[in-house]
Amino acid sequence: MLQAVTLSCRRGERRLFSDLTIKVEPGTLLAVVGENGSGKTSLLRIFSSLLPPDEGSILWDGEDIHQLKELYSGQLTYIGHLNGIKDDLTPLENVMSAINLTGEACSRTAAQEALEAIGLKRPVHRLPSKVLSQGQKRRVALARLWLSTRPLWLLDEPFTSLDAASTGVVTQRLHAHLQRGGLAVIVTHQEVDLPVERVQRLRLTG
Amino acid sequence: MSVNWSKYSAPMAFYPLAGRLIPWFACVAVALMGVGLYMGFFVAPTDFQQGEAYRIIFVHVPAAWMSMFLYVVMAVWAGIGLGLNARLSFMMAQAIAPTGAMFTFLALLTGAMWGKPTWGAWWVWDARLTSELILLFQYAGVMLLRTSIDDMRRADRSSAVFALVGVVNVPIIYFSVQWWNTLHQGASVSMSTGSKMAATMLTAMLLMTLAFWLYSVAVILSRVRCIIVERESLPVWEEEPPVIQKVAEVR
Amino acid sequence: MSRSSMWEAVGGIVRRDLLLAMRRRSDAAMSVFFLVIVVSLFPLGVGPEPAVLRTIGPGVLWVAALLACLLSLARVFTADYVDGTLEQMVLVPQPLAVLVVGKVFAHWVISGLPIVLLSPLLGLQFGLSGESLGVLVMSLLLGTPTLSMIGTIGAALVLGVRGSGLLVALLVLPLYVPVLIFGAGAVTGSMAGIGAEANLSLLGACLVLSLFLAPWATAAALRIALE
């Protein structure tokens, strides 16, 4: 279970949000919505432990994530608004090195299956990523979701530059993750097509 | 009679306290500096080898001590800031840097002034002088890094990390330059004034050090006050209405 | 997390960075070219007198190697920072400092090792004797990893900061002083016949010290840069 307790965040002079308390239960998703600059991404980065909150804390199963440190990192998969892929590497190499980085082994077949699951065909796997379109690059980044065994997913605008079909595939993957008892926090400005009882919406007003 | 010190760790509470302390430190600093300079320039005996020129050490040595001491103090505040995430500590570190750099520069300047009549050269690659020069570069690095980063929080923390790295580096540099010097055998000039220093000389030097220290405290505290005003966007006039009123009455 | 997964992560970083360097060989070649050009400028400026060149040789070679290392620093984290890989690195369940060691090692193989391998050739240009050339290689072999370790602290501190290229030089060069002194000192010492062992051991000590301390500072700086 993921909890935010009396969080507040300032960026420079601006107060983005304060006294924010919210709870995400296993099997549910928190969709953070709001205008540009309302602090959605900052909130997600606070959840990921990249950004320390100005006040308040994040609890994972009741323990402060800044105490848990690497133990908490081992619980989450974070895909920010930057894709984290290298232009000089092929999609296949990108997926494999991203998984290797987390300290897990990743076979070539597993990576290929993940890329196919998100709709990238075999010939594309061997092209350098710099020739891919924005949507294809986003899909390379999201392919990690098919290899992730982590209970908590933190996704920043996962559907940006994706076509309707890919959006559907990613939503299905999210649904499967929630059904297995996983948690997710996503930042989005789109409606998420998931059963109502699984989705909690948080609107930041800035 | 217990004082709640933690109260003053908040910048807003520290602001008036610093304001009350500054005049005391400043006055005592001026008084001690007067006595120290008088003793150094008029009371202390003339050196039989170096004549009157040696008297610059009453500024040089205390300045060099302060430059190193202040760097360590800055690093300690930086470390406390990083460890406890205390804003006031970062402000202290920020306020110390210019004063420390000033003393480093003063030490280098007086070193050159002393060096010319004594060794016949403005600059020698002596271990202490070279370390002092590198120390000046490190002060400059800390200040430049801070001003280059727009985000205040990151500026604080990044320059704190650099200050801490530097504190490990300075002794290594001192040792390495000394090593290098013995290898080259060139400028084997020692800046130490020997153990048979007259008691008056020692007293004058210690007085000057104390004066510089008190001066630093006064300057640093007033700089911290400026930083607090700047950062907390605190209107200055709200904080000190009595002063303005007094001026009005005098008129 | 277990020890094996830590090696998996560090190995993954080293493999990926070396692969990237293979794809962009010109990047690695650049610091070597820089070294050659800088070193070649000195005889043109000072004059071709062999005795003079031999005297300044160790210092020139070491300063040039140091500047070449400095110039390559911008590459260590910038690409990772811009494309988001750095965020992923920080959020990995291994200690960040250990991953930093992997990064630095890969960086050294790409930009430090070529310098070491090329140095005897450049030493010949300055009329260094056979034994001194050996000491030069040895000193660079011990010294350049230290330069990479220290340099990455600076590189991490200035990530995404305006004017970072010049700033990193101002931050890092003062920290390079001891390595320069011991490195050039080793070569000078061997030429003067007083032996290089002491200087080389001190270089080794610097390497060990930087290996233990620098990754922590770099890790802290990276976390700060990503906040």
Decide: residue A19, CB within 10 A, 0-12 exposed, 13-18 middle, 19+ buried. exposed
In order of B141, B168, C111, the CA distances from C150 in angstroms are: 15, 12, 15
pLDDT at B239: 45
C220 interaction partners in chain B (CB closer than 8 Å): 82, 161
pLDDT at B247: 41
Residue of B nearest to A54 (CA): B85
User: Would the CA dihedral through B117, B121, B123, B129 be positive or negative?
Assistant: negative
**pLDDT tens, position by position, B64-109:** 989 999 999 999 999 999 998 888 899 999 999 999 999 999 999 9
Of A78, A86, A102, nearest to C83 by CB-CB distance is A86
Lowest mean pLDDT across B127-136, C58-67, C179-188: B127-136
Q: Report DSSP state, residue B51.
A: B
**pLDDT tens, position by position, C200-226:** 999 999 999 999 999 999 999 999 999
Question: A with C: how many residue pairs have Cβ under 8 Å apart?
Answer: 87
Question: How far apart are alpha carbons B39 and B44 in whole angstroms?
Answer: 6
B140 interaction partners in chain C (CB closer than 8 Å): 170
Cβ contact C91–A49 (<8 Å): yes
pLDDT at B199: 77
Over residues C22-44, the mean pLDDT reads: 88
Distance of CA B157 to the CA centre of its chain: 21
Q: Assign B50 a pLDDT band (cuts: 50, 70, 90).
A: low
pLDDT at A47: 93
* Residues 6 or more apart whose Cβ sits within 8 Å of residue C145: C104, C108, C112, C207, C210, C211
Question: How far apart are alpha carbons A14 and B246 in whole angstroms?
Answer: 37
pLDDT at B234: 55
Cβ contact A100–C24 (<8 Å): no
In order of A52, A133, A186, the CA distances from A190 in angstroms are: 27, 21, 11
* Residues 6 or more apart whose Cβ sits within 8 Å of residue A6: A19, A20, A21, A55, A56, A57
For chain B, give the mean pLDDT: 81
User: Would the CA dihedral through A143, A146, A148, A152 be positive or negative?
Assistant: positive
Helices C130-157 and C96-107: angle between axes, nearest 10 degrees: 140
Q: Nearest C-alpha of chain B: how many angstroms from A12? A: 7
B177 interaction partners in chain C (CB closer than 8 Å): 177, 181
**Residue with more model confidence, B16 or B251:** B16
B78 interaction partners in chain C (CB closer than 8 Å): none
Residue C97: other Cβ atoms inside 10 A: 17
Supply the ipTM of this predicted assembly.
0.89
pLDDT at B218: 93
Q: Nearest C-alpha of chain B: how many angstroms from C200? A: 13
Cβ contact A98–C88 (<8 Å): yes
pLDDT at A15: 83
Q: Nearest C-alpha of chain A: how many angstroms from B100? A: 28
pLDDT at C127: 87
In A, residues 37-66, which contact B (CB 8 Å cutoff)?
Answer: 52
Which candidate in A51, A102, A140 is best for mutational testing of the C interface (most C CBs within 10 A)?
A102
Beta-sheet pairing, A183-187 with A29-34: parallel
pLDDT in tens, chain A (206 residues): 899 999 888 877 778 888 899 999 999 999 999 888 888 899 999 999 999 888 899 999 989 998 888 889 989 999 998 998 999 999 999 999 998 888 788 889 999 999 999 988 988 888 999 999 999 999 999 999 999 889 999 999 999 888 899 999 999 999 999 999 999 999 988 888 888 888 888 888 86
A70 touches chain B (CB under 8 A): no
Strand boundaries in chain A, DSSP class E:
2-11, 14-24, 29-34, 55-60, 63-64, 76-79, 152-156, 183-187, 199-204
Cβ contact A12–B152 (<8 Å): yes
Q: Nearest C-alpha of chain A: how many angstroms from C88? A: 7
**pLDDT tens, position by position, B159-186:** 999 999 998 888 887 787 777 776 654 4
Are the CB atoms for A160 and A81 separated by under 8 Å? yes
Question: How far apart are alpha carbons B68 and B66 in whole angstroms?
Answer: 5
Decide: residue B205, CB within 10 A, 0-12 exposed, 13-18 middle, 19+ buried. buried
A12 touches chain B (CB under 8 A): yes
* Amino acid occupying residue A52: P
Q: Nearest C-alpha of chain A: how many angstroms from B8? A: 20
**Residue with more model confidence, B174 or C64:** C64
